[in-house]
């Protein structure tokens, strides 16, 4: 029998990535289309279905099922987005069933970070742990949980909002409106803000960041830190400290085997992983904090791969 192929469709605010994946998580083909949410969900479904067909044409075979991952609060039972600041025109539209009809095959739909967590569980951890969390680092901080070997989505599909756990209650203002969230310390804007603040507060302190034109971005701050810039290194230690507090809370609640940190900003992982590990070592809860392994994910497009893998779950 031919091995199954899943098609993952990872819908972001700007681009939608489409991946064909085998049951072990190997990427077979990848493409990308603009999401253009303002053109509406029906036009998007037509565009996405066309892109899936041309990917399959290039691959030389059809996928058996299609899985959507989407940024926002996903009703995974109903197959739609309930709340999605970056995909407003798609809210409440039955994306899953529409894509299933357009492609004439079964479809699933989950939150993008939950999809990435599942991708990380299968691809990075080879299903070798029982309990894990993934933290996705990008513009926002997302999260997903795999507990007892299954994706855990909670009562309404909303579990795993790790970015909005309060690591410093009353602290920095977060994009969500509350204060002290992990995202307000480790999200893309927070990292840039921390660097700008250090530069402004310590005008006499030397840093190569001062010479960079325009607005800083995390990649530049990572490059400076890797080159030994002390101020830039301090920024990443702050990121690691906040992540460490978040990881400890996750471990105390869930007694995890592993935490996988993924996403674009996680490429700077070498600059903050040590700080997370230090926080864990200093926790008085030695057994669970000693047990958990924190890893930086190395696979690109985990959201699309995980969505494709989730479409195959139950078919294995």
Q: How far is the CB of 73 from Zn ion (least distance, A)?
A: 14
Q: How far is the CB of 243 from Zn ion (least distance, A)?
A: 15
CA atoms within 13 A on the CB side of 122: 25
- Tokens 């810039």 locate to 229
Nearer to Zn ion, 63 or 138 (CB): 138
Q: How far is the CB of 59 from Zn ion (least distance, A)?
A: 40
Tell me phi and psi for residue 211, to 5 degrees: -85, -10
Q: How far is the CB of 13 from Zn ion (least distance, A)?
A: 17
Non-local (6+) Cβ contacts of 60 within 8 A are none
Cα 224 from chain centroid (whole Å): 25
CA atoms within 13 A on the CB side of 14: 1
Nearer to Zn ion, 8 or 143 (CB): 143
Q: Which residues contact Zn ion (rule: CB under 5 A)?
A: 164, 174, 176, 181
Nearer to Zn ion, 173 or 286 (CB): 173
Tell me phi and psi for residue 275, to 5 degrees: -70, -35
Q: How far is the CB of 238 from Zn ion (least distance, A)?
A: 17
- Provide the phi-psi class of 79: left if phi over 0, else alpha when psi is between -120 and 50, else beta: left
Nearer to Zn ion, 164 or 233 (CB): 164
Contact present, 115 and 69 (Cβ < 8 Å): yes
Contact present, 195 and 217 (Cβ < 8 Å): no
- Alpha helices (runs of H) in 63-217, residue ranges in sequence order: 95-103, 112-119, 183-186, 188-201
Q: How far is the CB of 213 from Zn ion (least distance, A)?
A: 31
């Amino acid at each position: 029998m031919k091995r199954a192929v899943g098609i993952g469709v990872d819908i972001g605010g700007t681009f939608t990535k489409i991946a064909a994946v085998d049951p072990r998580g190997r990427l077979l083909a990848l493409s990308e289309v603009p999401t253009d949410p303002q053109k509406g969900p029906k036009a998007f479904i037509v565009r996405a279905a066309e892109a899936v067909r041309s990917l399959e044409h290039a691959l030389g075979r059809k996928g058996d099922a299609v899985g959507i991952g989407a940024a926002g609060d996903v009703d995974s039972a109903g197959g739609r987005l309930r709340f999605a600041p970056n995909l407003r025109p798609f809210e409440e539209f039955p994306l899953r069933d529409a894509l299933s009809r357009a492609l004439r095959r079964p479809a699933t739909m989950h939150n993008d970070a939950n999809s990435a967590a599942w991708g990380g569980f299968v691809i990075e951890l080879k299903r070798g742990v029982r309990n894990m969390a993934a933290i996705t680092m990008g513009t926002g901080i997302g999260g997903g949980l795999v507990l007892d070997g299954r994706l855990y989505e909670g009562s309404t599909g909303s579990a795993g909002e790790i970015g909005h756990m309060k690591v410093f209650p009353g602290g920095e203002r977060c994009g969500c409106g509350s204060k002290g969230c992990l995202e307000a310390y480790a999200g893309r804007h927070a990292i840039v803000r921390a660097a700008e603040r250090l530069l402004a507060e310590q005008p006499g302190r030397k840093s190569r960041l001062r010479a960079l034109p325009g607005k800083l971005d995390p990649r530049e701050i990572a490059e400076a830190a890797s080159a030994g810039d002390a101020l830039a290194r301090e920024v990443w230690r702050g990121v690691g400290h906040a992540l460490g507090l978040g990881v400890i809370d996750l471990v105390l609640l869930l007694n995890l085997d592993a935490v996988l940190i993924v996403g674009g900003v996680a490429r700077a992982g070498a600059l903050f992983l040590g700080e997370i590990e230090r926080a864990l070592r200093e926790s008085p809860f030695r057994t669970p904090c000693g047990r958990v392994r924190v890893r930086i994910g190395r696979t690109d497009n985990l959201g699309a791969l995980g969505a494709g893998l989730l479409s195959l779950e139950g078919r294995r």
